[in-house]
Chain A
Amino acid sequence: MTIRILFFASYRELLGSGELLLDLPGPGTVSDLLQDLWDRGEPYSALPASPVVAVNREFATLDTLLEEGDEVAFVPPVAGG
């Protein structure tokens, strides 16, 4: 299944890119996706063990099940206002 991954702010700078399309052997969770990214080595292995993520623009957890076409965003701690 194809997942669209977004990286913002410090994560975007860390990874040198704001967006990634990933083909995951489905089904899987956010946790599986994170493992897949870590397995790619640098720079993705620098992603934290417990990142805040949003799936389809709602905050989610590592246990959230992903579906074809989902948008997963890695969200650094927020600092609006």
Chain B
Amino acid sequence: MPKVAITESPIRAEEFLADLPSSSDGAMVLFLGVVRDHHDGRAVKGLVYEAYREMAEETLALIATEVEERFGTDRIAALHRIGALGIGEVATAIAVATPHRAEAYDASRYFLEELKKRLPVWKREEYVGGESRWLEGTIPPGTARKLGEREDGR
């Protein structure tokens, strides 16, 4: 069964991976998204993540179901952290175990790309010097737009 959640707690990779693979799995891919110290040439002090928690957990579960259908594994785990994070802290963790490596890499990539398109989570960058701003995000595919409007909203 896939294990997915939104969490306020620091993400620890070894706990996150514990008991994930089955005895028939020969590959396990772990992706960690970490907070970096710069963006668009500005020095970043940290990030604050906010989620529509119930919907975000349902979305993670839905993406996990898609991974099961496409890549044939239910050994999937995903966490997204919320709250204030410092440089180097883990914001996102995705792990997939499969019998062979190709599916594990592909499934991990699929999970992350779908998460970035659809997960109702937002981040505010806190800059060195005290300013902050919500990062411009992605409009989820197939969502509300005025008739005749272009996908990029212009």
Contact = CB atoms under 8 A, between A and B. Distances in A.
Interface string A11-33: 01100000000000000001000
Contacts of B119: 78, 80-81
B8 interface: no
Contacts, number: 101
Contacts of A57: 52, 54-55, 58
B120 interface: yes
Nearest to B50: A9
B91 A81 contact: yes
B134 A76 contact: yes
Contact of B52 (A6, A10, A30, A49): A6
B134 A30 contact: no
A78 B58 contact: no
Interface residues of B, number: 37
A9 B80 CA distance: 16
A73 interface: yes
A25 to B, nearest CB: 22
Interface string B15-57: 0000000000000000001000000000000000111101110
B145 A50 contact: yes
Interface of B: 33, 49-52, 54-56, 58, 80, 91-92, 112, 115-124, 134-140, 142-146, 149, 153
